[in-house]
Amino acid sequence: MTLNFFLVGKSHASHFEEAYDYYKKRLLKYAKVNIIALKESKLPDKPSQSQIDKALEEESKTILNSIPKGSFLILMDLQGKELDSFEFSEKFKEISQSNVSISFVIGSSYGLSDNVRKKAGFLWKLSPLTFTHPLALEITLEQVYRSLKIINGETYQK
């Protein structure tokens, strides 16, 4: 199985990179893991809605061109379904049984376009809270790792 984690934008804090490496090392026990930062469209400080829409469309092209062919697409999205860790592990198990490649996408500051949502196999709402996209990636990595531990009947070291 291959797990791809796409982040639109870049983390500017080294502690996020350390966290990504921490979870990537643990996930490698279960799957090949790729963490890929995609370019975020540049916007002015106070963009208009049309500027935001244009940026999201540009980002959607980059996202969709980056997803490996045949990969099951999971979006981290405020419009998605909110699951606890056990519910997500069940969903992840179901998805992973019929897919050799799974791609998780975290959008930029303004989210994701409807074009990307239409291509997704699952929309996952991490929380009712809003997170920075680097933090959302860390949470996603941790929850995928936790799910694999649950699926495999292993204890999770806290």
Paired with 156 in beta bridges are: none
Average pLDDT over residues 85-97: 97
pLDDT-derived band at 66 (thresholds 50, 70, 90) equals: very high
Kindly list the structural domains of the chain, giving each domain's residue range(s) and its CATH number in brackets, ordered by start.
2-42+49-151 (3.40.1280.10)
pLDDT tens digits along 39-51: 999 999 999 999 9
What's the confidence (pLDDT) of residue 158? 62
Sorted by sequence, the CB contacts under 8 Å of residue 94 that are 6+ apart come out as none
d(CA 129, CA 109): 14
Q: Which of 79, 78, 80, 104 is nearest to 92 (CA)?
A: 104
CA angle in degrees (0–180, nearest 5) for 44-8-149:
150
Read off the pLDDT of each residue in 127-145 and give the average, rounded to a whole number: 95
Q: What percent of the chain has pLDDT over 70?
A: 99
Residue in 8, 21, 32, 20 with CA at minimum distance from that of residue 107: 8
Please say whether the beta carbons of 40 and 9 come within 8 A.
yes
